[in-house]
Amino acid sequence: MPLSSEQIAEIEAERAHTRATLRAVSEGMEKHLYTAHPVLDHGFVRVVDYMGDDAAICQAARVSYGKGTKSVQNDAGLIRYLMRHWHSTPFEMCEIKLHVKLPVFVARQWIRHRTANVNEYSARYSIMDREFYIPQPDALAAQSVVNNQGRGEALSGEEAERVLRWLREDCTRAYDHYEAMISQDGQQGLARELARMNLPANIYTQWYWKTDLHNLLHFLRLRADAHAQYEIRVYAEAMCKIVADWVPQTWAAFEDYRLGGAALSRSGLACIRRMIAGETVTEENCGMSKGEWREFRAMLDEA
């Protein structure tokens, strides 16, 4: 269950309490405020607060560039120009604060993006809930033989059942021992800050994560990619839907130039020019390494 009854009641109360405001609001984002979007088996993403919209990005850009943007007649065109030329500051004018519930091993991967303000649930002060991420059978896969960071073929049959059984048994045993260590039934229990070290990395934690739109888009470009780990990618995909409603013009440009675009090296660009000129370009004459050529061909095939 992603949300407790207390959390659901709190969210309903927050959504029922509306306020008059003079600040700019995004109608698309308003529908997401406080609403928890389920992710994985017990996780969620919900918007707690936000600032700015597409117009705020254009306002900042026009202040910075003045007459330099007069050739761009509309906001969508200006935003596409900013995205196309990798401008960052105007997009930093928008901010978002998210409440996220996620497995600890996903949180440790997520925290590598060091451009946000984070406050996490503390197991030093509080007791962790008995909630663990147990993958669906189709999410179990063997180690990739070509990518040390990736997955290969999906496990099936008895092998998948064995892995799931071990996960459940290990989680249950670890949490039982955790509870026993902090128990104060007639005696002094072990300090929570020590007892937590026994908990597995698939236990759920929660945090508030605040970042600006520029850094959020960078996060999504990496984590919503098809090659990203599934367990963090599903969080990124839920956030993509929120951003698309929050700043639709920015999202359209982001999809075009980042998610659907590609960056070329000097060698790659030279190969494209040779291909356009009618020359046959191969791995042997491309001037790239074997890995670069493989990625270059994959990029062209995907396009």
**Residues tagged active-site:** 223
CA distances from 35 to 24, 217, 283, 301 (A): 20, 21, 51, 39
Angle of helix 230-246 versus helix 213-223 axis, rounded to 10: 140
Identity at 127, one-letter amino acid code: I
> Angle formed by the axes of helices 75-84 and 54-65, to 10°?
70
| C-beta of residue 207 within 8 angstroms of C-beta of residue 120 | yes
> DSSP character for 89?
G
d(CA 275, CA 214): 35
- Alpha carbon distance 96, 47 (integer Å): 7
Alpha-carbon distance of 137 to 151, in angstroms, equals 14
**Mapping DSSP to helix (H, G, I), strand (E, B) and coil, where does residue 120 land?**
strand
* CA 169, 170, 173, 179 torsion-angle sign: negative
Q: Can you name the residues that pair with 143 across neighbouring β-strands? A: 151
Task: Write the burial class of residue 134 (CB in 10 Å: 0-12 exposed, 13-18 middle, 19+ buried).
Answer: middle
Identify which of 103, 112, 99, 143 has the alpha carbon closest to the alpha carbon of residue 231: 103
